[in-house]
Amino acid sequence: MKMVTGGAYQGKLDFVCSHFGMEQVDITNGSTCDFEEVFSAKCIKSYHRLIARLIAQGIDCVQFTERLCSENKDAVIILDEIGCGIIPSEKSERKRREVTGKCGCIIARASDEVIRVTCGIPMYIKKKIN
C-alpha cells in the first residue's frame, strides 16, 4: 500500500498518475464510489471524503479502513490533510477531522510508502528500503 497526502489542490493526483502510472480508469473517487469498490481499487482519491460519507451512513470508519488495509494491500490512497488550520466550531466537523486523522494513521502504518505532496513536489515521509 502507498499513501499520498498533502493539502487540497497541491498536485497529489498528478503526482500519483505520473509516478505510479495510473490512468483515470484506475482511479476510484471516494466522493462518489460504492463503498465496496475500494476493496479492489488500484487507487482511491479523496479518501477523506469517503470517510465523511461513511460517517454520514453510521459506518465505523476505523474498522472500514482496517479492512481496506487488510484486503487491498496494493492500493494507492490519496488523502487530503484536513487537520491543520482553524478548529471547526461544529462538534460534528471536529469529530470528522479526528476520525480522518485516525484513519490516516492506520493507512500510513500499513503503507510501504507515505508521500506528502506540496506544490507538486513529493516529500517521502516513509519509504521501504530494499
Calpha distance 28→45 (Å, rounded)? 6
Q: 33: which DSSP letter?
A: S
Count of other CB atoms within 10 angstroms of residue 129: 4
Distance CA 127, CA 130 (A): 9
| pLDDT above 90 coverage of the chain, percent | 85
10: left (phi over 0), alpha (psi -120 to 50) or beta: alpha
- In this prediction, residues 8-22 reach a mean pLDDT of 96
Residues 34-78: pLDDT tens digits? 999 999 999 999 999 999 999 999 999 999 999 999 999 999 999
- Residues 2-13 have pLDDT tens digits of 999 999 999 999
- What is the pLDDT at residue 84? 74
Query: Within its chain, how far is the Cα of 83 from the centroid?
Result: 13
User: Mean pLDDT highest for which of 65-69, 93-97, 98-102?
Assistant: 65-69
- pLDDT value at 130 more than 70: no
Phi-psi region of 70 (alpha: psi -120 to 50; beta: other; left: phi over 0): alpha
- pLDDT tier for residue 109 given thresholds of 50, 70 and 90: very high
Question: Cβ(3)–Cβ(71) under 8 Å?
Answer: no
Q: How confident is the model at residue 86 (pLDDT cuts 50, 70, 90)?
A: confident
